[in-house]
Amino acid sequence: MKSIAADRLRELYLRLSAAYGPQGWWPAKSAFEVVIGAYLTQNTAWASVERSIANLEARRLLSVAAIRGLPEVELRELIRPSGYMTRKAAAIKAFVGFLDRFYDGSLENFSEETPAIARERLLELPGVGPETADAILLYALGRAAIVVDEYLRRVVTRHGLLVEKAKYAEIQALGKAAFADDLPTERVQHCNEFHALMVEVGKRHCRKAPLCEGCPLAWDLRASLTPVGRGYVET
């Protein structure tokens, strides 16, 4: 049975959607650019990623073939604005090598892989943790995946949907349950908007020091402080 917490999380999503409107993520011109962005955005601000992407775009390097032929030392310099350039350049090169080995160098071929196998293989690559893997699955491969980031963690724990030390898999399972009744194509769209909206409310309100005044979710936060409103009761 679906939990009250899953129902409440879906309601939070619907409230955010009504408040903020469609987000239209991921901001990229191609699936491969999404992959590059997913690597570069680790431990850095998106504005820094945009500078790195602009460097690659100016050199017409936002393709598998172009990155394959680019010396790694040059790639490091081009993505320097994103930080950790040595590690990230090596990881991006490893991803291209992975495509060459298993999918004839084609991201489109990779997108036809089953989601479970695709995720498992992504997690075996250097520089890819669960969040990066799920972002690639969702935004580059078009598969339904709940991306768990710090913003989502803050929302579900501050609203009493899960305990403060909930693991990535637990938060992801809650997100999946919230959209379990949707059709597959609808689920992909919901996962996309869900992640983007959680980032938006996180930036505006659910910061390290929360700014609850004016937050579209403040009504639920008040409810979660009462015994009746707690969202971790199974039905």
Contact between residue 66 and residue 92 where contact means Cβ atoms under 8 Å apart: no
Number of compact structural domains in the chain? 2
Domain shared by 129 and 37, yes or no: yes
Domain shared by 62 and 136, yes or no: yes
Alpha-carbon gap, residue 90 to 95, rounded angstroms: 9
Residue span of the structural domain in which 64 resides: 31-140
Alpha-carbon gap, residue 184 to 145, rounded angstroms: 11
Residue 235 included in any domain = no
pLDDT tens digits, one per residue of 104-145: 999 999 999 999 999 999 999 999 999 999 999 999 999 999
| SS3 assignment for the chain | CCCHHHHHHHHHHHHHHHHHCCCCCCCCCCHHHHHHHHHHCCCCCHHHHHHHHHHHHHCCCCCHHHHHHCCHHHHHHHCHHHCCHHHHHHHHHHHHHHHHHHHCCCHHHHHCCCHHHHHHHHHCCCCCCHHHHHHHHHHHCCCCCCCCCHHHHHHHHHCCCCCCCCCHHHHHHHHHHHCCCCCHHHHHHHHHHHHHHHHHHHHHCCCCCCCCCCCCCHHHHHHHCCHHHCCCCCC
Q: Which of 117, 140, 163 is the last residue of a domain?
A: 140
Is this model's pTM higher than 0.85 or not? yes
The mean per-residue pLDDT over the stretch 69-76 comes to 98
pLDDT tens digits, one per residue of 41-58: 999 999 999 999 999 999
What is the Cβ-side half-sphere exposure of residue 214, based on CA atoms within 13 angstroms?
6
The mean per-residue pLDDT over the stretch 203-212 comes to 96
pLDDT of residue 225: 53
Q: Which of 84, 112, 140 is the last residue of a domain?
A: 140
* pLDDT over 80 (residue 76): yes
Residue 205 included in any domain = yes
In 3D space, the residue among 125, 108, 27 whose CA is nearest the CA of residue 63 turns out to be 108
> What is the pLDDT confidence band of residue 235, given thresholds at 50, 70 and 90?
very low
The mean per-residue pLDDT over the stretch 212-231 comes to 70
Tokens of 197: 């909206």
Domain shared by 163 and 221, yes or no: yes
Domain shared by 180 and 87, yes or no: no
Q: The domain spanning residue 174 has which CATH number? A: 1.10.1670.10
